[in-house]
Structures are given as structure tokens and as C-alpha cells.
Amino acid sequence: MKINAEWHKKNKMPKNPTEEQRIKWHIAHAKNCACWPIPKKLQEIIDKKYPS
């Protein structure tokens, strides 16, 4: 998996993030970096909150 180090450097996960902050960070991460996927449990929450 390829890491986008520059994106990571500019986009740190907030300390003690809320669920909404985690969702936004992971969605942005998935669009900008391929180093790891959205965690399964968080993806389930996203799917329920924002059905396609």
C-alpha cells in the first residue's frame, strides 16, 4: 500500500476525535492515501449514517 506522507503530515487525526471527526478524517484519508482502509466498524457506521 502506498502512503501519501505529505497528506498525513498536513492532516493529523484530532486528539480524542468525535465520531463525526473520525468519519470526516477517514473519508478524506481514503480519497488521498492508500496506506490503509477505513476500519470495518467505522465503515459500518458511515454506511448507516450516509446510505448511498
* 20: enclosing H helix or E strand: helix 19-32
Is residue 22 exposed (0-12), middle (13-18) or buried (19+ Cβ within 10 Å)? middle
Residue 6 confidence (pLDDT): 96
DSSP 36: S
User: If you count them, how many residues does the chain have?
Assistant: 52
Q: pLDDT of the chain along its 52 residues, tens only?
A: 789 999 999 999 999 999 999 999 999 999 999 899 999 999 999 999 998 7
Amino acid letter, residue 23: I
Residue 2 confidence (pLDDT): 86
Residue 9 confidence (pLDDT): 96
Residue 11 confidence (pLDDT): 97
User: Are 39 and 27 spatial neighbours (Cβ–Cβ below 8 Å)?
Assistant: no
